[in-house]
Amino acid sequence: MISRKKMETEKAPYTMDEKQYQRFPVTKQAFAIVSTRDKGEPSYLGFLDKMHATLGQRMQKNQEGYTQTDNALDLGANALNLILGSYGFPNSQLLKWNPLFTPEFLVGNRVEKEPDVLAEMAKQAAKWYGSDLTGITELDEKWIYSQEMSKPFILTEDGAAEETEEAYYLPKSMNRAVVMAFLMDEPMIGTSPELPASTATSLGYSRMGITAVSLAEYIRALGYQAIPCMNDTAISIPLAVDAGLGQLGRHGLLITPEYGSNVRLCKVLTDMPMTPDKPIDFGVTQFCENCLLCAEHCPSGSISNGKPAMQTEYETGNDGVLKWFVHAEECLHFWQENGASCANCITVCPFTFGFESMQCFECERCESWDRGCVLQDNTIYRRKNGYLKQDTWASRAEVLSPKRRGL
Ligand code: SF4
Ligand code: SF4
């Protein structure tokens, strides 16, 4: 496996126009726009009603992939997500910004160690609580949402993080984010767009909720402030890119070297002084330019098959970062028609399950880059099953040999 050290870069692998970029409000997310339109009042999860109605119809017909049994497994998988944070709303449920159980005498009683040591401690704890990949970044204010559904996020010069009736206040001293990725069940994600893929997602949410809440409490018990976040408070994908977990793909998702896009993301914001990780570049952008598989397999046609751009006409997009924009509203409409969330773009991505020979021939990385091919060496498919046959033009990749020794 190509080491992460070899992929490290000094600068995060994206291009920004700082003059164009504005902090993004949650109210412009597709979840909020579709839900608010459906319900006729401000709503974030209201879009689920139509999705569940379709699922109910499919269950009644006992349609394969959408049966009562499938639904039962999903409800079990999602239970802890709903108890802990319901996908993520700031300072709510167990995602409280204040300590949950840490005794008063430990609050603010800082364990002083070198930033490298504190970073390692946080990573070890995150791993132990359930994270599959953990990175640390300086918290770039750009990625903090400007606005929740009803009130703004305001950055303050000092003090503690707090919520009032008017706003959420975040002190600038909370300048680190521990970003975590959670591998989702591969066979289940592979059933997309059927319900078991949604179930893998639900379990990912439950697992990330447990870990975010646990890690935040650990950091508080070390005497520092910590905010556990699921989808809320700051945008997870750019934070994950900054923290060196992976790169942004054409489908608008993070791609990690180890698991491709088959991950869910959460983060803990803190003032614990930890050494940040470096971002990585393993050629995703160049690869996506030629690949297009996610765009071809997207049932709602939401993924661009054109060039990356700085600006978008989509209401849910945010100008100022060079990327492929995704028509997220259309994506959600498909979820509603389907009766379950979709993960086709995750499953077809070669970084998730291994490459196909076509992409290998089309990719120019081997000739242009000296760091080796992550697709060939790092995909979880390859690590689990061994090397793939590379010389078959336009046919599915085939496992040639058992797992190679040393991998
Ligand atoms: S989740 Fe499905 S519908 Fe949405 S962008 Fe991905 S492939 Fe398209
Ligand atoms: S499927 Fe291909 S184009 Fe889409 S994100 Fe993955 S590598 Fe990029």
| Residue 43 pLDDT | 97
| Residue 402 pLDDT | 39
Nearest to 172 by CA among 161, 185, 186, 187: 161
Residue 349 or residue 213, greater confidence: 213
| Residue 179 Cα to ligand 2 middle (Å) | 22
- Candidate from 194, 262, 293, 331 with most ligand 1 atoms within 8 A of CB, to mutate: 331
C-beta of residue 153 within 8 angstroms of C-beta of residue 166: no
| Residue 364 Cα to ligand 1 middle (Å) | 27
Residue 49 or residue 390, greater confidence: 49
Nearest to 371 by CA among 268, 280, 235: 280
Question: What would the DSSP string read from start to end of 227-285?
Answer: EEESSSSB-HHHHHHHTTS-EE-TTSSEEBTTTBT-EEEEEEEE----PPPPPB--SHH
Query: Looking at ligand 1, which atom is closest to the CA of residue 193?
Result: 2
The pTM of this model reads: 0.91
pLDDT at residue 405 is higher than 90: no
Shortest-distance Cα residue to atom 7 of ligand 2 = 288
Query: Looking at ligand 1, which atom is closest to the CA of residue 332?
Result: 4
331-356 per-position pLDDT tens digit: 999 999 999 999 999 988 888 876 55
| Residue 317 pLDDT | 94
| Residue 34 pLDDT | 98
Whether 348 is in the pocket of ligand 2, judged by its Cβ within 6 Å, is yes
| Residue 372 Cα to ligand 1 middle (Å) | 30
Indicate the range of 14-28, 99-113, 277-291 predicted with least confidence.
Answer: 277-291
User: What is the average per-residue pLDDT within 85-99?
Assistant: 98
How are strands ordered across the β-sheet holding 153-156? 153-156, 168-171, 162-163
Residue ranges lining ligand 1, Cβ < 6 Å? 251, 298-300, 302-303, 326, 331, 334, 342-345
pLDDT range class, residue 379, cuts 50, 70, 90: low
Q: Which strand (E) or helix (H) includes residue 38?
A: helix 30-39
Query: Whole-angstrom distance between the N-terminal and C-terminal Cα of the chain?
Result: 7
| Residue 391 pLDDT | 41
Whether 26 is in the pocket of ligand 2, judged by its Cβ within 6 Å, is no
Whether 279 is in the pocket of ligand 2, judged by its Cβ within 6 Å, is no
User: What is the average per-residue pLDDT within 98-126?
Assistant: 97
| Residue 396 pLDDT | 45
320-329 per-position pLDDT tens digit: 999 999 999 9
Bin 386: left if φ > 0, else alpha if -120 < ψ < 50, else beta. Answer: left
Residue 348 or residue 1, greater confidence: 348
Is the four-CA dihedral 189, 26, 294, 354 of positive or negative sign? negative
pLDDT at residue 289 is higher than 80: yes
Ligand number nearest CA of 247 is 2
How confident is the prediction for the chain on average, in pLDDT?
Answer: 89
pLDDT range class, residue 400, cuts 50, 70, 90: very low
Q: What are the φ/ψ torsions at residue 284 (nearest 5 degrees)?
A: -60, -45
**Identity of the amino acid at 288:** C
Shortest-distance Cα residue to atom 8 of ligand 2 = 288
What is the token pair recorded at 125?
């704890």
Q: 373: burial class by Cβ within 10 Å (0-12, 13-18, 19+)? A: middle
| Residue 148 Cα to ligand 1 middle (Å) | 25
DSSP state of 311: -
| Residue 350 Cα to ligand 2 middle (Å) | 7
Ligand number nearest CA of 335 is 1
**Identity of the amino acid at 319:** D
DSSP state of 126: H
E-state strands within 59-183: 133-138, 153-156, 162-163, 168-171, 176-183
Question: What would the DSSP string read from start to end of 110-169?
Answer: -----HHHHHHHHHHHHHHHT-SEEEEEE--GGGB-SB-SSSBEEEESSS--EE-SS-EE
Residue 395 or residue 194, greater confidence: 194
Whether 326 is in the pocket of ligand 2, judged by its Cβ within 6 Å, is no
Shortest-distance Cα residue to atom 1 of ligand 2 = 349
pLDDT at residue 221 is higher than 80: yes
Ligand number nearest CA of 250 is 2
Ligand number nearest CA of 293 is 2
